[in-house]
Amino acid sequence: MKQVTECDFGTKAVLTAPLSLEGEESNSEYRAPNIIQRILSLLTSVRPGSDLNRLQAKGETPLNRFVSVVAWSISMVRPLAFGLAPYNPVLGETHHVSRGTLNVLLEQVSHHPPVSALHATDEKQNIDVLWCQSPLPKFHGTHIEIEVHGKRQLKLLNKNETYTMSPPNLVIRFLPVPGVDWLGNATVRCQETGLEAELCYRGNSFLPRPSVHRSVKGKIFLSSTMETVYEITGHWNRTVTVKDVKTGKKTVIYNAKEALTGLKTPIVKDPKAVLSTESAVVWGEVNQGILQKSWDKAREAKTCIEEGQRQVAREKTSREDEWSPKHFIVSHSKESGWDCSPTHKLVPPAPIVVND
């Protein structure tokens, strides 16, 4: 049973630019807010010091690599504009994209509740990334707090190191001042080296506080002794620094402006190989309408997609069909929540690419 409907709009892929530092302060042209198309920028946009492709530089120590992973995890936090929500991915929607030797594949493996799976591999750099995430919104009157449950795992295969990460919560405020913030605690752990990081993301509450807004504070420590190695301070939309607690030396591990300047929009390298389930195809007409400010066209396309999803749900219920993802094996339990494993060891090169 097909899960994504083309709605007679054709199969043209319309790609949008990656998220940058513009966020809610941006005065630039409105961009179609399809988050699934922009995840690649979260994987590959960081420059030296925290670049995913540089995690295994020759001569690096386990501590150096751990600091780089922490910096990479911080780089995945981007400003979001209030009132511009991403599209709700439909069941079976995919995104397959490559940058250099890094190949990334995403699939929407559940619709109710929404669960997204991601697998990324780089044979040259011996990197394997696996995510399985489900957002859980909680309403608190004046704001909505969205917890992201599931797994974020990064493996450095030739170092035999596995890193697990948890993100902060996304908070959408309505009162007293509308806004969107990343708040709360996040962690990074490597069981093999015994290194851990605890991060706390802070933002404005009732009154603007520039020193606190979009700040991050934390520490890197040895789990066996709880001894702190580095203290972490800074702002995730500016710079983040670590301080060696023994020597007092400070080092900038992440510079948002340097990392995110000049991010490029993906391009379609092989149109014939683009799947009909590709996010850029599924939402292509909606993207095109928004980018051209043809709101009626965008609304018509969006309605068609949503009606197609409802029709799929009705057919699934009437036939008692049990749909299975194409690229992942998914499981769920009350104890562990959602989990997934890829059906193939390696992600193949994609028809959509980001050029360096």
Residue 323 has pLDDT above 50, yes or no: yes
Residue 26 has pLDDT above 60, yes or no: no
CB 209 within 8 A of CB 235: no
CA distance linking residue 325 with residue 117, whole number of Å: 10
pLDDT at residue number 39: 38
Higher pLDDT: 301 or 31? It is 301
Instruction: Label residue 152 by pLDDT band (50, 70, 90).
Output: very high
Q: In the chain, what is the greatest distance between 2 CA atoms, to the nearest angstrom?
A: 67
Residue 208 has pLDDT above 90, yes or no: no
Higher pLDDT: 235 or 18? It is 235
Considering 33-37, 48-52, 54-58, 107-111, the range whose residues carry the highest mean pLDDT is 107-111
pLDDT at residue number 11: 56
Instruction: Label residue 83 by pLDDT band (50, 70, 90).
Output: low
pLDDT at residue number 132: 94
Q: Are strands 143-156 and 169-173 parallel, antiparallel or unpaired?
A: antiparallel
User: Which percentage of the chain shows pLDDT scores above 70?
Assistant: 80
Instruction: Label residue 308 by pLDDT band (50, 70, 90).
Output: confident
Mean pLDDT of 18-35: 47
- Domain boundaries along the sequence of the chain: 23-271+333-353
pLDDT at residue number 43: 38
Residue 157 has pLDDT above 80, yes or no: yes
Considering 43-57, 185-199, 292-306, the range whose residues carry the highest mean pLDDT is 185-199
pLDDT at residue number 19: 59
Residue 128 has pLDDT above 90, yes or no: yes
- What confidence tens digit (pLDDT) does each residue in 266-286 have? 899 999 999 999 988 888 888
pLDDT at residue number 190: 97
pLDDT at residue number 111: 83
Mean pLDDT of 105-127: 91
Higher pLDDT: 195 or 337? It is 195
Mean pLDDT of 91-109: 92
CA distance linking residue 75 with residue 188, whole number of Å: 13
Residue 56 has pLDDT above 50, yes or no: no
Rg for the chain, CA atoms, rounded: 21
- What confidence tens digit (pLDDT) does each residue in 236-268 have? 999 999 999 999 999 999 999 888 887 788 899
Instruction: Label residue 316 by pLDDT band (50, 70, 90).
Output: low
Residue 59 has pLDDT above 50, yes or no: no
CB 254 within 8 A of CB 248: no
Residue 206 has pLDDT above 70, yes or no: no
CB 354 within 8 A of CB 344: no
CA distance linking residue 78 with residue 258, whole number of Å: 14
Token reading at 262: 């000049």
Q: What is the pTM of this model?
A: 0.84
Peptide bond preceding 33 in cis form (omega within 30 of 0): no
pLDDT at residue number 16: 67
Q: What is the mean pLDDT of the chain?
A: 81
Fold for 23-271+333-353, please state it.
Answer: Porin (2.40.160)
